[in-house]
Amino acid sequence: MTMPLMKPRKKNPVLRTRQMNLPPFARGRTALGMTAAAAEGRFELQVCQRCAAVQYPPRDACHRCLSAQLRWTAQDGAGELISETVLHHSNDPFYRERLPWRLGLVRLDAGPTVIVHLHGDVLSPPPSIAGAAPAPTVRVHVGARLDRAGAAVLIGFAPEESEHMADDKMLREMTSDPKFRKILVTDGKTEVGQALVKALVKAGADIVWVGHAEPWKKLPGLDDITALPQVTLVPLDLTNGRSVSELAGEIGGKVDIVVNNAEVHRAFGIAARRGTDAAKAEMDINYFGLLRLAQEFGPALKGRSADGETHAAAWVNVLSVYALSNYPPHGTFSASKAAAYSLAQCLRAEMRPSGIRVINIFPGPIEDEWNQNLPPPKVAPTALATSIVKALKQGIEDVYPGDVAQEWVERWRENPKVLERELASGS
């Protein structure tokens, strides 16, 4: 059974902050298919379309019939642990700092045998004794996660969940669990922001700083969240470089997770409104706001990614599924989110070497005032908040919450041009 994680003691400021060493991350192009699925929380292996063989490790052709028709297919991960190894020595700096480390060999029910990192709840396979009755098998459930370098790895879990399983030392290296972490949520005035704060507190966050651009205004719902002992309101205006820089000076060295949910959303295309004021306001928060925030908070986060058990871990961007393809009735908003998405990819590349995970959330229309005229289904703020906490806990990188976003991303993958035409004709 996993022991619950205890709140770490305050850091001794005299001690040197450790540098992050990443696990080895070189992967061939074919193997990146597994990483792409793990980034969305799925365990996928190649399945041959001709002979139905399930393949591991990934290759360019089927190991049985040499067909090149391989399709990445979701796996249920059920299997049997056939052997276990505990590393007590490693030449790799990442593992050397984390020894001992359990690895296992799992024979999947689907066919292939895979190498996994073993969760602490998985029992060791009993030794087989010659002449004795065969030892009972140890069942495991294999899942895919992204490691600190952003590459897919397989993890063997016990089939039954246990209360503190998320606190497993190895698993916490693969996730960005909010428990005992200090989090900045950039906007607390919206329903989404408030739902997020509540969900993060419920997930065990140590401190949640909540940005508020107009601290003199009494806004509905704010009293509810400030009543929580973990929550502190902080002045933060993402349109103002000095405001961002001042807050970074004050708390930048303590933040472990940044959640940027601040956005401006107006429902206009190009012809419906003259001038550029509304579009500029959207860009100023949705794009430049992210840029200002990343420049001020990014370096501090990167410097503390190896700093103890509750080290700096993640950066979350609330984008929009309209970032993938422009939704003309919300045309300028879509454009600002497309710009933010592109910048978030840059941020992800820059944060990767330090082991900080950048998580992008692409919700469909949210149940808020700017989507009043859109028909359902819409994502409720609480559902959006839940999906963000789940992404942090499971180490997922790209999230498409809600039915609309799920459908959009599928249509976009199938054929972006067809989606563009469908959106232009209002379907």
Asked if 69 interacts with Zn ion (CB under 5 A), we say no
Give the range of 67-75, 85-93, 275-283, 368-376 binding Zn ion by CB under 5 A: 67-75
Q: Which of 395, 397, 334 is nearest to 364 (CA)?
A: 334
Q: Residue 57 or residue 328: which is nearer to Zn ion going by CB?
A: 57
Least distance from Zn ion to the Cβ atom of residue 198, Å: 50
- With a CB cutoff of 8 Å and minimum separation 6, the contacts of 344 are 290, 317, 319, 358, 360
- From candidates 27, 42, 59, 64, binder to Zn ion by CB under 5 A: 64
Element containing residue 154 per DSSP (H, E): strand 152-157
Q: Residues binding Zn ion: what is the number (CB under 5 A)?
A: 8
Q: Quick one: angle between helices 331-351 and 288-303, nearest 10?
A: 20
Q: CB of residue 80 vs Zn ion: minimum separation in angstroms?
A: 24
Residue 334, φ and ψ in degrees, nearest 5: -55, -45
User: What tokens were used for 215?
Assistant: 């601290």
Find the binding residues for Zn ion in span 299-338 (CB under 5 A).
none
Structure tokens at 32: 């990146």
Give the integer Cα–Cα distance in Å for 269 and 334.
9
- What is the smallest separation between the CB atom of 104 and Zn ion, expressed in angstroms? 27
Q: Which is nearer to Zn ion, 66 or 219 (CB)?
A: 66
Smallest separation (angstroms) from Zn ion to the CB of 68 = 9
Which of 17-25, 58-66, 394-402, 408-416 is the region at the interface with Zn ion (rule: CB under 5 A)? 58-66
Two structure tokens written together for 117: 């990192």
Query: Least distance in Å: CB of 48 to Zn ion?
Result: 3
Q: How far apart are CA 207 and CA 175, in angstroms?
A: 19
* 65 in contact with Zn ion (CB under 5 A): yes
Any contact of residue 67 with Zn ion (CB under 5 A)?
A: yes
219: contact with Zn ion by CB under 5 A = no
**Phi, psi (rounded to 5 degrees) for 257:** -140, 130
| Binding track over 27-56 against Zn ion, x by CB under 5 A | ---------------------x-xx-x---
Can you give 184-240 as a three-state secondary structure string? EECCCCCHHHHHHHHHHHHCCCCEEEEEECCCCCCCCCHHHHHCCCCEEEEECCCCC
- Select from 62, 238, 244, 335 the one that contacts Zn ion (CB under 5 A): 62
Taking the complex as a whole, the smallest distance from the CB of residue 35 to Zn ion amounts, in Å, to 23
CB of 56 to Zn ion, least distance (A): 14
**Which residues contact Zn ion by CB under 5 A?**
48, 50-51, 53, 62, 64-65, 67
